[in-house]
Amino acid sequence: MSFKNDQVSREETEKIIALAREMLPCEGDFVELGCYRGDTSLALAEIIQNNVNHKLWIYDSFEGLPDKSDYDESVIGVDFKKGELLVTKREVKERFLRAGFKLPVIKKAWFSELKDEDLPEKIALAFLDGDFYDSIRDSLRLVESKMVRGGLIVVHDYDNEALPGVRKAVDEWLGGHSFNLERFKSLAIINC
């Protein structure tokens, strides 16, 4: 099944799908922090739909984008404003039901409000699509202790000049870790 994704390019979506397939033998669940309409979530759900070893967990404010920090300011990123990219939790659930997939665990919250117990115990794949510095910083903080050895953190918009806060948050976080970073289009792929 093919899902149209207007925020993540076709090439990036194909890469995320390939990486998710590589993670199937690993223990741990798949998580997505920042799901928007659920396009990437649906692609991940399709991969694990018949796999009893993995669950999908998705997190979003379902209130659109938060406020920007100073790190997020960019002349070419002026369209990314508070409240933009608003989709309701109900809309995402309905897309899963129409696709015939089991509903994932869906948590409505700002990432700064999430606690350790809101995430699965073990994570094989974390897809982070928070767009702004604070969201990515908070997402990395949430998943870092849950990642299984050999697991992957994939961060969208790392190489997106319109969203400079993403790269800053990732680079700062990586400064305290010895993980490998690979780049593909705008994605940062971090091997834990």
**Where do the structural domains in the chain lie, given as residue ranges?**
10-133+141-187
Q: Is the pLDDT of residue 6 over 90?
A: no
The CATH number of 10-133+141-187 is: 3.40.50.150
Mean pLDDT across 52-72:
96
The predicted model gives 91-108 an average pLDDT of: 96
> How much is the pLDDT for 50?
87
Mean pLDDT value of segment 112-127: 98
What does residue 162 show for φ and ψ, rounded to 5 degrees?
A: -75, -15
What pLDDT score was predicted for residue 2?
54
Sign, CA torsion 1/8/128/146: positive
Tokens for 38? 């659920």
Q: What is the pTM of this model?
A: 0.96
Residue-level pLDDT at 78:
85
pLDDT at residue 98, rounded to an integer: 96
Mean pLDDT of 98-120: 97
Report the alpha-carbon distance of residue 5 to residue 56 in Å, rounded: 18
Query: Phi/psi of residue 139, each to 5°?
Result: -65, -45
